[in-house]
Amino acid sequence: MYGKKVKLRFSFIVLLLLTTILSTFLVLKSLEENVVYFKSPSDIQLLNEIKNKKIRVGGMVKENSIKISSGEVNFIITDFKNEINVTYSGLVPNLFSEGKGVVAEGYLKDKNFFDASKILAKHDENYMPPEVKTALEEK
């Protein structure tokens, strides 16, 4: 009934639609799985359950809280309201020190202990991660 050209164009459009839908679905699914949420120590206190999902915790490194041994580094992240103990075994960034802003990525053990797998490096001594800034402003 229809010409060859129309058929060709029709199948082309269907193919295009299908690929678009498929890739959107893939992207959304992957987003859902791989998004890392940012929490402040106060947010963590408000959590109802501890999920086994990677999160980021940000705040200030509490004064006199860094303890280092041959295997790991321990410190406390605070937002001056609540705090959380962090255990980390890896390379710390250059600008990591007490009284400075920090963002740690890893898994929660419970509401007071955090197992970090990465501490994010910042390049600027005046720089504070935007999340930390808002988390501190909210207190």
Binder to other proteins among 90, 109, 110, 113 (CB under 8 A)?
Answer: 90
> For other proteins, which residue of 62, 93, 111, 112 counts as binding (CB under 8 A)?
93
Q: Contact between 48 and other proteins (CB under 8 A)?
A: no
Rank residues 93 and 111 by Cβ distance to other proteins and give the closer one: 93
Interaction of residue 107 with other proteins, rule CB under 8 A = no
Residue 115 touching other proteins (CB under 8 A): no
Among 69, 54, 59, 65, which residue's Cα sits nearest to residue 107? 54
Rule CB under 8 A: is residue 94 a binding residue for other proteins? Answer: yes
Residue 52 as a binder of other proteins (CB under 8 A): the answer is: no
Tokens standing for residue 15: 């193919």
Verify binding: residue 15, other proteins, rule CB under 8 A: no
* 77 burial level (CB within 10 Å; 0-12, 13-18, 19+): buried
CA separation, residue 9 to residues 6, 23, 60, 138 (Å): 5, 21, 59, 56
Decide if residue 17 touches other proteins (CB under 8 A): no
Give CA–CA dist 68/106, Å, rounded: 19
Please name the residue that has the structure tokens 């501890």. 50
Should residue 131 be labelled a site residue for other proteins when binding is judged by CB under 8 A?
yes
Q: By C-alpha distance, which of 50, 58, 64 is closest to 128?
A: 58
Binding site for other proteins (CB under 8 A): 5, 8, 19, 23, 26-27, 30-31, 33-38, 54, 56, 66, 68-73, 89-98, 120-131, 134
